[in-house]
Structure 1
Amino acid sequence: MAIDPRIIRPVVKADVAAQAARSSAVRDSSRNAASMFATALRGIKVTLAVVALVFIAGLILAYKSRPTTSVPSADHSDKPTSTQSASDVPARPSPDQVAQSANESISQVLAIARNGDSSEILQAARQAGRTFDFSPYHPQLKWKLARKLDKKALSAFYEGSDPKSAYGIQLKAFDADPLDTEIAGNLAIYAFRTGRTAEARMYVLYALSLPRPLRRSGRTADWATLAAIDAAAGDAADARAALYVTLAIAPDVKVRCKSAKDSVNNIYGPVLRDATEAMFERIRDQSLSEDEECATPIQW
């Protein structure tokens, strides 16, 4: 049976029109969806912007509400107060200021050492010189240079027998690292040997005040230097007491006896002989050692 073209053409036209209508509807729907998405995105952006502004405003308010003054320490007058900003604190403490702070506690140890037993002296020595607060100070340390200079000064002192040169070199070492106990203590020795007794006392008290572990006392060498300084000043009682401290804090009495004799012969000189002999007598009286190194009378 033949198909009449007159029937097909209207049908095809109707289908084409329907498809065009559907395509237009799809395009309209897509445009509407895109428009709705763009509107939603703009809303999200606005919301985020508002949240960010609120957050920033909160930060600004918190910053403006922060405390503007610091509370001064009840125990350490050396810390910066509300009228002394951190920038006003020098990079390193003054040795004289540190020495003055330590003087009373060192004197208390010497008073105990005159008649106290070794355990009392040791306990007092561990607490001595801890009165100064070093925490606000942050010096620029050049410890490698300091150690190199310290070694050079030792060579000048012992090998060159030149305490004056050793003192000059050690000042530079101290400047490079003012927080090294050995460097400060050696500077005290060189100052003493060049006749700078007051300066030597300042540096040895400074060395005894530098931060150290809680169960550590100051160095035996520094207490011996203090003994020599007191002896040179005519204070025989404090000179003896300072050497009694060295006896209490030394881990080995025999080694202490040998070091004491060497110190008189090679470092401090005859000024420390009387105090050293008094220390040896205490060793004998308290039966602290029977070794020949500690025998009396001392064979100078």
Structure 2
Amino acid sequence: MRADRLVSLVLLLRQRGRMTAGALARELEVSVRTVLRDMDALSAAGVPVYAERGRHGGFALLPDFQTALTGLNHDEALALLVAGSRRGAQLFGLGSALASAMLKVVDALPEGLRDTAADAARRLLVDPETDLLSRRVAVEEVSDAIAAEVRRAVFAGHRLRIHYAAVGQAPRWRTVDPIGLVTVREQGYLLAKRGGEDRTYRLSRVLAAEELDEPAQRPDTVDLDRAWQERNARFRTGGEKVAVLVRVDPAQREHLVGTALAVCAEDADTDGRLRLDVVFQDARHAEWALWQHATRAEVLAPQWLRASLRDRAAAITARYGPPS
């Protein structure tokens, strides 16, 4: 790991020029003392790095220094494959590997193209932490250590022991046969088998993980997309979930879909509105979600939900009617 960090140090100095020890420490997520030790190691290895003192000082490389250190290690190559979603890389414990890999990719570009790409990158912002309404994106926290242990078991085909906190239950240890990892809307999931049955575990609820030496009992090949779709279908139809047929103004569609668990069907109605079959977690969830849309959405079925919304509206009207 130190060798990768030393490479990253050299590439940062090549691409950004002079940098302070504090700035380097923040980029590499290490202490300033570690950066200073690494600088001594680079100097001892013959890398022409030097320090400039003063207010605008820092570390820099001698002009025209060249290096061919652009080879990617396994985690860096894997991080690039999931780089379409930086948060996906974070969820799977590959955030630092992605940063290191991107440094090497940039360093491998011809000098002119490198400058053009860097300028273009400064003009793109993907998935900021807040939207235009200043709502923060809820990103689930998964420790790198847990993510790495889960990832190793998935790739090695070994069984995995996890300390898991299911909703409404005390945390307990489970031994599972991992199949694959999925990230959806900033949430990471482990697809696995337990006792021969399909199981899905949210990574943020894994409190500890331990890769075992035993081989996992799983198919040699897997269609992860199909496996996810099958589990998604079972999730929509299982338990106390409520299916609702609703007619909605097209301008409200995204808001409605965003509050539902799933959309099973969608058609255009004759009056220009949309007719959707949507699924909610339970009766309380369905009533809360549809109430948000007031007259811009109309529940067509089930009848009990129509009656519940009508009674709530009548109670509100009575409360805010003119004084007697």
Using the size of structure 2 for normalisation, the TM-score is 0.23
Task: Report the structure, 1 or 2, having the larger helix content.
Answer: 1
Which of the pair has the greater relative contact order for Cα pairs under 8 Å at 6+ separation?
1
If you compute each CA radius of gyration, which structure gives the higher value, 1 or 2?
Answer: 1
Using the size of structure 1 for normalisation, the TM-score is 0.24
